[in-house]
Amino acid sequence: MKSILITREPIECGWLVRSLLAEGFDVVASSQIMLEAVESLPALPKTDWIFFNSPKSAKLFFQTYSELEQDNYKFAGLSTGTSKEVKKWTDRVDYTGSSSLKTEAIAEDFLSIANGAKVLIPCGKHTLGTLKKADEDNNTVQEIVFYDTIPNNWIAPTDFDLILFTSPSNVDAYIEHHEVRPDTICLAIGEKTAEAIEKHELQATISEGYLETDLFTKIMSLAR
C-alpha cells in the first residue's frame, strides 16, 4: 500500500498526515464537501455558549452571522483545529476539546464545565448530535441548522490504495466523481459512514476509534 486519501482538510488531521508521510506513504488530505449556508437563516436563540464541531462550520458561522455581539457569548471548539479557526474571528476560545478524548468524552467534559448553562451548536442538516444526546436529560443544548453540505467537485490527481472516509457526505461526494478500485481499502469513521460506503456496493472497514492516533494505528495495521 502506497497512496492514501483522507477526506479532511490538513488543518483537521495534521498529525495523522505527518505521521503517515514519515512512514513513506503518499498522502492527500482533502475534504470532498463544501458548506453552504441555508437560504432562510435561523435566528440565534438566547444562549451562554456557542459550541463548534469543525473549522469549516466555525468559519462559515462567523462569515454568515457577521453582526454577532461576541461579548455576549463564550466559545467552544471540539478540537484544536476548530479552536484555531474560532480564534481567527474572536479574541478568545473558552473551551477546547482534548485530542486524547473521543467525541462522546469531550461532550461529557464540556457539559461538566458549562454546568447547566445554555449551549448553542450551529450545525448542518446531517449532524450526529453527539453533544445534544449527551445532554438529553437536562435539555440545555440546542442545535440550529444553518448550513448544508454540497460536493466540492474536486477531482483526485490519482487513485488511492486506501481512502479514509470521515463522513457519509464525503463518501457520496467522492464516489460521484471517482471510481474506486476493487482492491482499494475503504476505511470508515463510524457505522453511518460505513453504511454509506456499502450503499455504493463497496466493502467498508470500520476504525475502532477515530482519534488521529487510533486512525494511524488502524492504517498501519492494514498496510502490513
Please report the DSSP string for 126-188 in residue order: T---HHHHHTTTT--EEEEEEEEEEE-----SS--SEEEE-SHHHHHHHHHH----TT-EEEE
The pLDDT value given to residue 63:
96
Alpha helices in the chain (DSSP H): 14-22, 55-64, 80-87, 103-114, 130-134, 168-177, 191-199, 212-223
pLDDT tens-place string over residues 8-34: 988 889 999 999 999 999 999 999 999
Domains of the chain: 3-32+152-223 (3.40.50.10090), 38-148 (3.40.50.10090)
Cα separation, 212 vs 208, whole angstroms: 12
The pLDDT value given to residue 118:
97
Q: Measured at the alpha carbon of residue 41, what is the angle toward residues 35 and 43, in degrees to the nearest 5?
A: 130
The pLDDT value given to residue 146:
96
CA end-to-end distance (rounded Å), the chain = 8
Cα separation, 101 vs 95, whole angstroms: 14
The pLDDT value given to residue 103:
87
Report the 10 Å Cβ neighbour count for 91: 8
pLDDT tens-place string over residues 106-130: 999 999 999 999 999 999 987 878 8
pLDDT tens-place string over residues 192-210: 899 999 999 999 999 977 7
Whole-structure pTM value: 0.81
Going across the sheet that includes 185-188, the strands are: 26-29, 3-6, 162-165, 185-188, 204-206
Please give the average per-residue pLDDT across 81-97, as a whole number: 94
Q: What percent of the chain has pLDDT over 70?
A: 100
* Statement: residue 224 has pLDDT above 80: no
The pLDDT value given to residue 140:
95
**Dihedral of CA 49/50/55/61: which sign?**
negative
